[in-house]
Amino acid sequence: MKSVLLFGSTGNIGKQIASEALRKGYILTAVVRNSRKANDISEITKNILIADVTKPDELVGICNGFDVVISALGKSVSPNDNSKASFYDVDFAANASILKEAVSSRVTKFVYVSALHSERYTNLEYFRVHHEFSEKLKKSGLDYSIIKPPSIFSAYLDVVDMARKGRLANLGKGDKRTNPIYEGDLAIVCVNSINSPKSEIEAGGREILTRKQINEIIQQHVKPSKKIPTIPTWVLRAVLPLIRITNKNMFDKFDFFVDVMQHDVIAPQVGQLTLKEYLVMKS
């Protein structure tokens, strides 16, 4: 059976990919940043390598002996993430360093978790770096699979927290639609793609919901009696320039949130778990 080296293994997607790869019989090794992070995945696999992916010197030779590399590596879009690394540092530069090692080690497959429609919104840093790395991967000469979800359920846990604190609000009309996918469903897509040569796979959840409907599902789960207020989009757009001056990383996140809320972001419906079911499962 093929050996798999997994980056981003301690994230919500990474843990599910690790479990699915082992379920399918692959020999899995997880890469983590430090020994504390190793504890986060030790119940899933004992095959662990420690390396800081933002330091290329620590990655030299790391792909030697592996057949497949999977990268679920990416900077969190959560406003609660205060790490100094930028979207470029993690989503492009770190992945580019991993790719360089994969090429030199002659791995047979590179699977990358990207973002749906990243090629359309390169004005936004989050999408730009995903698109640029995807293009770099396609030109690398390696066999690849690029997985493109619209968003994942765990990204809405911050929204759940906001609802609990009475801070949840609709941004504008909230009429644009999307279909986020459960990480476990996405992990199945990622692992199955190992056998799909040079593929780009769009994968969303089974339900297509408006942004307002997503907020209502979350509010109903947390505190049904609470009404959700509406914030006009111009209010957030007005404060974005100030955020950019004070905190570029936070600006990139809010710029992403404000813009993406104004578009339909819908992928083929391949997921099985619904958002309501996920919230109950996480309770």
pLDDT one-digit tens code per residue, 203-232: 999 999 999 999 999 999 999 988 999 988
Q: What is the pLDDT, as a whole number, of residue 36?
A: 87
Q: Domain for residue 58, yes or no?
A: yes
Q: Domain for residue 70, yes or no?
A: yes
Q: What is the pLDDT, as a whole number, of residue 22?
A: 98
Q: Domain for residue 277, yes or no?
A: no
Please name the residues in contact with 145: beta carbons below 8 A apart, sequence gap of 6 or more. Answer: 109, 110, 111, 112, 190, 193, 194, 196, 198, 199, 200, 201
Q: Domain for residue 227, yes or no?
A: no
Q: Domain for residue 155, yes or no?
A: no
Mean pLDDT of 32-58: 93
Q: What is the pLDDT, as a whole number, of residue 247?
A: 83
Q: Domain for residue 137, yes or no?
A: yes
pLDDT one-digit tens code per residue, 148-202: 999 999 999 998 998 999 988 888 899 999 999 999 999 999 999 999 999 999 9
Residue 24: give the domain boundaries. 3-150+182-202
Q: Domain for residue 229, yes or no?
A: no
Look at the chain and report how many structural domains it folds into: 1
Q: What CA–CA distance (Å, rounded) separates 153 from 163?
A: 15
Question: Across all residues in the chain, what is the average pLDDT?
Answer: 93
pLDDT one-digit tens code per residue, 74-125: 988 877 777 888 999 999 999 999 999 999 999 999 999 999 999 998 988 9
Q: Residue 231: helix, strand or coil by DSSP?
A: strand
Q: Domain for residue 192, yes or no?
A: yes
What is the domain-level CATH number for residue 100? 3.40.50.720
